[in-house]
Amino acid sequence: MYRTSQGERTLRGAERRLFLESLGMIVDFLSDDNDYTADITIFDELQRNQKVAVLLGISRALLRENVTPPTLTAISESAVAVVYGNIYDRIVEEIETTYADDGMVEFAESGSNSESLAPSWRELVLAACREVTKLDDLPAAESSEAEEWEFLIDCLRDLILWDRDWQMIEHLDVPPETGQRLKEELGIDDAYFVWVPPDPTNEEAAEMVMELRYLTPEGRRL
């Protein structure tokens, strides 16, 4: 279980599938590139094995009901943001590639001959939004307006994260008394920013990667 902005819960249905698809890609990145970065400073500053450990921690909590909700920290919440940030990156990439060839793109449609096609990232986002949000006027799956998709992804991410306090660490390079006052005004516990993530050995990290892979759709098909 995870202490989300909607209460203690685990991800289900289309929301779960979207998270897992993105997580699986990030696990691939971490397996192939020790220097994987996500343009989120607090996460990017971690060592590769620490990134693996933090991602496994949030994934266990978000996907398994028998896991005790972990204490929320800036680093763990930044890892959630990384998963959703990757979804946006993949959609931008999808838009750029699918419309490169004379604007032609195939979308999987239920009941059509294209059932065997995997859904696009945009279709995955739409499915999740239909299940867990009350948003009206959702865009068509063919929409190439990146801003529309960024908004939808932010809405889905905010169903997990309470706020964006984790981003504050980039702005806390101020005198200690000023930083302390800001945290008190915002109700942020000191431990939120100073939690030190696990730093597993290479062997331990390899086992964690295997567990992460098993959580993902591709891993379950192995």
pLDDT tens, 150-179? 999 999 999 999 887 767 655 455 444 444
Question: Residue 193: what pLDDT?
Answer: 79
Question: Residue 190: what pLDDT?
Answer: 66
Question: Residue 126: what pLDDT?
Answer: 98
Taking CA atoms, 111 is separated from 18, 104, 117, 120, 124, in Å, by 21, 21, 12, 16, 17
65 CB-side CA count, 13 A: 1
Instruction: Domain count for the chain, please give it.
Output: 1
Question: Residue 111: what pLDDT?
Answer: 41
Containing structural domain, residue 110: 2-220
Query: By the 8 A CB rule, do 75 and 54 touch?
Result: yes
Question: Residue 179: what pLDDT?
Answer: 47
Average confidence score pLDDT of the chain:
84
Collapsing DSSP to helix, strand or coil, 7 comes out as strand
Looking up tokens 């706020």, which residue turns up? 163
Tell me the C-alpha distance between 197 and 157, whole Å.
22
Name the stretches of the chain with pLDDT < 50. 102, 104, 108-116, 171, 174-179, 181-182, 185-186, 219, 221-222
